């Protein structure tokens, strides 16, 4: 019997009881990164108990950052380290090995979710679907609609910038800078712009009630499906959230805004050319103007090749690995 660790929170004693009751032959877990100080995520609890009970485990990675925080304790102990880590691509593999992970634990499988977006939702979304969402957002005919996908930087790394992994910017500063830049673009080109701000699930809508703008229209909403939202707008913006990666795979023009970035850029699509990075505010307006008004540049964006590594087999590879590990345990037992 196998079970999957979800995002629901359970006390450690409940996790131990779950293992004792189910006698799982395998643990298949996702990964997440919570606050530096706070409750340990469920995936970590399950992996720790699996290690104690000699239950083989697989963690499926979905993003290119915080590798140590996902699998090690705050004092550097590998108590949350599974037997195998399924990673998205060679970039994740190389980065994990570089920070000290045993390469024999890491298996490049691809990312099942990104494959499903590329092969399913992208082809099934219609013009009628797009127009319906733009109407619900309150977009006027001919209006440029842009989305900003936020993330809780201040919640994860603090507001004072002293954390060792602080990226160099806060979400509040970036949102304010985006609004100011779009105001200037709207004035310079006499265009009508709607900016749809989508807070991260961990953020409150109240964080955005004080936003002010001179010329553009702003809507803050969590109502629309995030993938349908990004496919309905003209440009998708954000910092380094997973939704930007998903938007690239859905064929959207994507701008990653990380002014004053102090660390390595974790948004893999910036490194592979699928998204457009902004590291200084002086770059923001020119890049947005090229995306909005330069037809040749727009055509080059649409022709970007999206490569999957390995293509179309991620879910099957993870399934095969899980079955093999479970089977080995049964034979050994």
* DSSP letters for 230-277: HHHSSEEEESS-HHHHHHHHTT--EEEE-TT--S----HHHHHTSSEE
Residues 297 and 315 reside in one and the same domain: no
What pLDDT score was predicted for residue 259?
A: 97
160 with 77, same domain: the answer is no
Q: Is pLDDT above 90 for 262?
A: yes
Check whether residue 65 and residue 159 sit in a common domain: no
**Would you say residue 94 lies in a domain?**
yes
Q: Please state the rounded mean pLDDT for residues 147-170.
A: 90
Report how far residue 93's alpha carbon sits from residue 265's, in angstroms, rounded to the nearest whole number. Answer: 16
Q: Could you report the per-residue pLDDT of 58-72, keeping only the tens digit for each?
A: 999 988 888 998 999
Same domain, 189 and 270: yes
Q: CB neighbours (10 Å) of residue 180?
A: 16
Residues 175 and 30 in one domain: no
Q: Does residue 117 belong to any structural domain of this protein?
A: no
How remote is the C-alpha of 109 from its chain's centroid? 18
CA distances from 266 to 50, 101, 256, 291 (A): 29, 18, 11, 23
Q: How confident is the model at residue 157 (pLDDT cuts 50, 70, 90)?
A: confident
- Identify whether residues 80 and 201 lie together within a single domain: no
pLDDT digits (tens, 9 = 90+) for 69-114: 899 988 899 999 999 999 998 889 999 999 999 999 999 999 888 8
Q: Which residues of 118-130 are buried (b: 16+ CB within 10 A; e: fewer)?
A: beebbeebeeeee
Does 169 reside within a domain? Answer: yes
Q: What's the rounded mean pLDDT across residues 310-314? A: 70
pLDDT tier, 123 (very low <50, low <70, confident <90, very high otherwise): confident
Report if residue 276 sits inside a domain.
Answer: yes
DSSP 139: P
**Whether pLDDT at 310 is above 80:** no
Model pLDDT, residue 87? 95
Residue 202 forms part of a structural domain: yes
168 in the same domain as 272:
yes
Share of the chain above pLDDT 90, in %: 65
Q: Under DSSP, is residue 155 helix (H, G, I), strand (E, B) or coil? A: helix
The chain-wide mean pLDDT, for the chain, equals 89
Range of the domain at 62: 2-110+311-332
pLDDT at 23 over 80: yes
Q: In this structure, is residue 118 part of a structural domain?
A: no
pLDDT, tens digit (0-9, with 9 covering 90-100), for 184-228:
999 999 999 999 999 998 888 888 888 989 999 999 999 999 999
Q: Are 159 and 297 in a shared domain?
A: yes
Count up the domains in the chain and report the number: 2
Same domain, 134 and 276: yes
pLDDT over 50 (residue 37): no
Residues 289 and 327 in one domain: no
Residue 116 belongs to some domain of the structure: no
Work out the widest C-alpha separation in the chain, in whole angstroms: 72
Q: Which residues are paired to 197 by β-bridges?
A: 148, 220
Contact 219/194 with Cβ under 8 angstroms?
yes
Q: What local confidence, expressed as pLDDT, does residue 252 receive?
A: 93
Cα(252)–Cα(196) distance, integer angstroms: 15
Sheet containing 106-108: which strands, arranged edge to edge? 2-5, 26-29, 57-60, 84-87, 106-108
Q: What is the pLDDT of residue 333?
A: 47
Any idea which of 32-41, 232-241, 317-326 has the lowest mean pLDDT? 32-41
Closest to 269 in 3D by CA, of 109, 65, 70 = 65
Residue 281: give its domain's CATH number: 3.40.50.2000
Q: Is residue 119 part of a domain?
A: no
Tell me, yes or no, whether 187 and 237 share the same domain.
yes
* % helix, strand, coil for the chain, step of 5: 45, 15, 40
Mean pLDDT along residues 229-242: 96
pLDDT in tens, 279-293: 999 999 999 999 999
The confidence score (pLDDT) of residue 308 equals 55
Statement to judge: residues 9 and 130 lie in one domain: no
Tokens, residue 2: 């196998």
């Amino acid at each position: 019997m196998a079970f999957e660790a979800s995002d629901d929170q359970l006390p450690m004693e409940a996790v131990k009881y779950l293992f004792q009751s189910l006698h799982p032959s395998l643990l298949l877990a996702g990964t997440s990164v919570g606050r530096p100080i706070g409750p340990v995520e469920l995936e970590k609890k399950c992996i720790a108990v699996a290690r104690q009970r000699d239950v083989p485990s697989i963690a499926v990675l979905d993003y290119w950052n915080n590798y140590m925080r996902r699998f090690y304790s705050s004092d550097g102990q590998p108590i949350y380290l599974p037997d195998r880590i399924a990673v998205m691509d060679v970039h994740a593999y190389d980065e994990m090995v570089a920070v000290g992970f045993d390469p024999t634990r890491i298996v490049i499988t691809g990312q099942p979710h990104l494959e499903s977006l590329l092969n399913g939702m992208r082809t099934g979304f219609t013009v009628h679907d797009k127009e319906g969402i733009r109407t619900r957002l309150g977009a006027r005919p001919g209006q440029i609609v842009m989305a900003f996908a936020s993330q809780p930087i201040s919640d994860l790394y603090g507001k004072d910038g002293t954390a060792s992994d602080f990226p160099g910017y806060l979400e509040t500063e970036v949102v304010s800078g985006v609004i100011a830049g779009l105001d200037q673009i709207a004035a310079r080109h006499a265009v009508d712009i709607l900016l749809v701000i989508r807070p991260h699930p961990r953020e409150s809508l109240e964080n955005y009630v004080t936003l002010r703008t001179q010329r553009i229209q702003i809507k803050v909403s969590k109502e629309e499906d995030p993938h349908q939202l990004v496919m309905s707008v003209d440009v998708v913006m954000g910092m380094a959230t997973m939704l930007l990666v998903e938007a690239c795979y859905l064929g959207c023009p994507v701008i990653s805004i990380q002014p004053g970035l102090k660390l390595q850029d974790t948004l893999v699509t910036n490194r592979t050319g699928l998204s457009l990075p902004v590291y200084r505010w002086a770059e923001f307006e020119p890049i947005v103007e090229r995306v909005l008004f330069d037809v040749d540049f727009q055509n080059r964006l649409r022709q970007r090749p999206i490569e999957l590594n390995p293509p179309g087999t991620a879910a099957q590879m993870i399934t095969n690995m899980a079955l093999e590990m479970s089977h080995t345990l049964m034979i050994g037992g």
